[in-house]
């Protein structure tokens, strides 16, 4: 592989291209009219203009990307995350055109894109799953019967759903019919597929996911877990590796289960198997994400591997260069997603120009960033500016480093999730590891952030006043 097209933008396009360059592979960026001056375009050896800013006229134009890739004699396409990364039809088209899709085969993408197909694929592999049904249900009477068997509360989920869309908790039998009808109509309009199914609702789960990597020779390994329980509206904000609560035994069991899930769909490349962990430390398979994930850096830091390099190697047909026994966890990594959103105003997008934008630097600090001072945050795409990642020998060290890195990260012009990150890192529930996916709902308190910002403003005002009084005595002002 001598040249690859990176079919993405922002920090992930840069992150993929960095590894490609390190491997001596030429890079081709794609960009929309909104991204003409974006760092990922300048970093690449060549670049392709796709079209106007909206994604469906630019970054989602799979056929155009393939056509231009062929004109430039590229060998492969890396899709990053989002956009075309989990589009089975695109993956297929890439391969049909004689290019390498740096990711799994379309079959695996398709199976895991449907929750019911995924459950069906893994059913002979002895993977723990939440009690429930494994087929689409439309009959309310049957649904009531099943709900009574598994016991309320239950959760109605859309088979084609993702990111919590189309999910409905049902506490009691009387509510089942209306909620089921709503879930079906929501799923039909959102995904064009009204299939829904029922699971027992796990009330206070932690979100634990396992990073896997499979080569084309039947070898599959896992790189341990990431914990992603700190999220709001199904959007992760803080991730870490390893989890504060897994024992080595549970880690090994979940890792084995994740590798079996990958085998069940003939997986190739980097993938993530998501589990719920309940209060008694039972784990249940939820779904598999068939792409490189946003939070992959925490895994890279604790395992010492470059996941993009491995993706490219297995895409070239190479063997995985190690076995499971060669892999171990070293240290602890923490990641904060820095979004241009206002944490004091319900995390609403905060648009504007980055009047000041300075990254923290230092040992144990990694920033996967897509922005520069003076740039505007485009309204067309995901508002994530960067990922702030810290690494220490222990969880305490990674947290302390995150707190100081947040303080050193200078952003003016837009509101960001940095203060939210500082709140999380200092909260007792987080530092003790005693939290679940309801952290934001249970503990997030904007008053604490407001108070600390007021204190900071007071200190700044006092420093300014002191300076003013000193200057007044030493400088002779003109009369």
Q: Which residues bind ligand MV4 (CB under 6 A)?
A: 130, 155, 164, 199-202, 205, 207, 231, 234, 276, 286-287, 437
Minimum distance, C-beta of residue 446 to ligand MV4, in the bound complex (Å):
20
Going 243 to 249 to 250 to 252, the CA torsion angle's sign is positive
Cβ proximity to ligand MV4: between 282 and 324 the closer is 282
Minimum distance, C-beta of residue 16 to ligand MV4, in the bound complex (Å):
25
Cβ proximity to ligand MV4: between 161 and 364 the closer is 161
Cα separation of 161 and 117, whole Å? 12
Minimum distance, C-beta of residue 176 to ligand MV4, in the bound complex (Å):
15
Closest residue by Cα to residue 3 from 65, 76, 54, 112: 76
Minimum distance, C-beta of residue 149 to ligand MV4, in the bound complex (Å):
15
Minimum distance, C-beta of residue 162 to ligand MV4, in the bound complex (Å):
7
Q: Which two tokens stand for residue 256?
A: 């084995």
Cβ partners under 8 Å of residue 371, min gap 6: 39, 354, 357, 377, 385, 386
Name the strands in the sheet holding 269-277, side by side, starting at the edge strand that comes first in the sequence: 283-289, 269-277, 206-214, 220-232, 235-241, 332-339, 384-392, 365-369
* C-beta atoms surrounding 252 within 10 Å: 14
Which 3 state secondary structure label does DSSP give 389?
strand
Per DSSP, which regions of 118-268 are E strands? Answer: 154-158, 168-170, 196-200, 206-214, 220-232, 235-241
Catalytic residue list contains 291: yes
Which position among 291, 337, 366, 395 bears the catalytic label? 291
CA angle 454, 456, 462 (to 5 degrees): 105
Cβ proximity to ligand MV4: between 231 and 416 the closer is 231
Half-sphere exposure of 132 (CA within 13 A, CB side): 27
Cβ proximity to ligand MV4: between 19 and 159 the closer is 159
Cβ proximity to ligand MV4: between 235 and 324 the closer is 235
Cα separation of 372 and 356, whole Å? 9
Known catalytic residues are: 291
């Amino acid at each position: 592989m001598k040249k690859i097209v990176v079919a993405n933008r922002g920090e992930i396009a840069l992150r993929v291209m960095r590894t490609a360059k390190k491997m001596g592979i030429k890079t081709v960026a794609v960009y929309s009219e909104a991204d003409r001056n974006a760092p990922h375009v300048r970093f690449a050896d060549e670049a392709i203009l796709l079209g106007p800013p909206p994604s469906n006229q630019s970054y989602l134009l799979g056929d155009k990307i393939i056509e231009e890739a062929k004109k430039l004699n590229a060998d492969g396409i890396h899709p990053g995350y989002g956009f075309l990364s989990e589009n089975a039809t695109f993956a297929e088209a890439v391969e049909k055109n004689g290019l390498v899709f740096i990711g799994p085969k379309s079959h695996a993408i398709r199976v895991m894109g449907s929750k019911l197909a995924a459950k069906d694929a893994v059913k002979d592999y002895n993977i723990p799953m939440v009690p429930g049904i494994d087929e689409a249900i439309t009959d309310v009477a049957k649904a009531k019967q099943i709900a009574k068997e598994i016991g309320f509360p239950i959760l109605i989920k859309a088979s084609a759903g993702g990111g919590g869309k189309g999910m409905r908790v049902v506490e009691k039998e009387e509510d089942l019919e209306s909620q089921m009808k709503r879930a079906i109509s929501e799923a039909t309009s959102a995904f064009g597929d009204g299939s829904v199914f029922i699971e027992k609702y796990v009330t206070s789960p932690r979100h634990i996911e396992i990073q896997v990597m499979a080569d084309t020779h039947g070898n599959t390994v896992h790189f341990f877990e990431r914990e992603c329980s700190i999220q709001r509206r199904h959007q992760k904000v803080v991730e870490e590796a390893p989890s504060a609560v897994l024992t080595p035994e549970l880690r090994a069991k979940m890792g084995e289960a994740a590798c079996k899930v990958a085998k069940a769909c003939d997986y190739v490349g980097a993938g993530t198997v998501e589990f719920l962990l309940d209060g008694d430390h039972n784990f249940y398979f939820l779904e598999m994400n068939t792409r490189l994930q946003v939070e992959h850096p925490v895994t890279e830091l604790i395992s010492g591997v470059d996941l993009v390099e491995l993706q490219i190697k297995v895409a070239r047909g190479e063997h995985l260069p190690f076995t499971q026994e060669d892999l171990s966890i070293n240290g602890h990594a923490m990641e904060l997603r820095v979004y241009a959103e206002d944490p004091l105003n319900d995390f609403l997008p905060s648009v504007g120009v980055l009047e000041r934008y300075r990254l923290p630097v230092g040992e144990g600090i990694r920033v996967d960033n897509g922005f520069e001072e003076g740039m505007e945050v485009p309204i067309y795409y995901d508002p994530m500016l960067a990922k702030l990642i810290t690494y220490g020998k222990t969880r305490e060290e990674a947290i302390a480093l995150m707190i100081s890195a947040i303080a050193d990260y200078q952003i003016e012009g837009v509101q960001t999730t940095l203060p939210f990150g500082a709140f999380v890192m200092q909260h007792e529930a987080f530092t003790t590891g005693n939290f679940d996916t309801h952290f934001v709902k249970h503990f997030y308190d904007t008053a604490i952030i407001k108070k600390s910002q007021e204190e900071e403003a007071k200190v700044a005002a006092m420093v300014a006043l002191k300076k003013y009084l000193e200057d007044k005595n030493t400088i002779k002002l003109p009369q």
